[in-house]
Amino acid sequence: MFSYVDKSIRQRLEVQGLLRVLNKDGIVVDPDDGSAFMSLLGPVPIPRMIDGIEVVLDWYPFVRRTELSTVLDSAKEVENGGEEAFRNLLSNSMLVNSVFALPNFTTASNPLVRVHSCCLTGDIFGSKRCDCGPQLDAAFSQMKQDGGGAVVYMSGHEGRGIGLWAKAVTYLLQDAGQDTYEANTALGLPEDCRDFSEAAVVLRFLLDNRPIRLLSNNPDKSKALRENGQQVSEHVQLIAGVCEHNQRYMDAKRDRGHQI
């Protein structure tokens, strides 16, 4: 994924410790190591306002290392009718995810962490059909009040992993009476196909395998992180942005086990 970076620049970043390759245990390995799983860049300083105060966040973009042979194998499966393999490749391997960490996150003993699934409509355009945008803002605010923390922003999780186009279709199905999960399956897609393994890997590296307090209402999220090696010491509820436009959406999540 970093082949477009000039070799001399890439080498300089590696020497400076700003470009690293991790295996699935969150351990730095050589780029040519067979266990290489992820490329991690940063920290890159990102100033932003939180509760009216400027805070400089540490930004760590990270992306799976996808071999050309994997792409070619997936392309062959598409030719043979196996479109699912290529969709999984695109959603898991071709998008850059991010950690946005408040100061001193990497030395914190048990920090607040929000693993946030990308929601263009809610996070960027302020849609009230979901609670995603308010949750993201509330997470930063709560972390600042707590003295630190980080948001792990998963770019490939739009619509619980189905993508923006399919998500738009499901909105129309929801307007016709289906709930957010039924609409996904009506399109022949999973209710939830998000993969949290990359989030677990980057957290294990940044925190040196220390535990986190997970800012989430979804118990499946902490289960997925634990299954991928990241300790979760506590589940911290995050309720924000509930309104008449997303009441059915919130009800559906509660019915699926979310702690709302």
Query: One of 25, 137, 146, 192 is an active-site residue; which one?
Result: 192
- Sorted by where each starts, the structural domains of the chain and their CATH numbers stand as 42-255 (3.40.50.10990)
- Annotated catalytic residue 194: yes
H/E run at residue 137:
helix 132-146
- Annotated catalytic residue 175: no
Q: What's the rounded mean pLDDT across residues 221-229?
A: 97
Q: What are phi and psi of 236, to 5 degrees?
A: -110, 120
- When mean pLDDT is compared across 64-68, 94-98, 202-206, 215-219, the lowest value belongs to 64-68
C-alpha 127/C-alpha 236 separation (Å) is 24
Under the banding of pLDDT at 50, 70 and 90, the label for residue 91 is low
What pTM did the predictor assign? 0.89
Give yes or no for a cis peptide into 43 (omega within 30° of 0): yes
pLDDT tens column, 36-79:
999 999 999 999 999 999 999 999 999 998 644 444 555 555 56
Query: One of 20, 114, 160, 194 is an active-site residue; which one?
Result: 194
* pLDDT, position 68: 42
125 has a pLDDT exceeding 80: yes
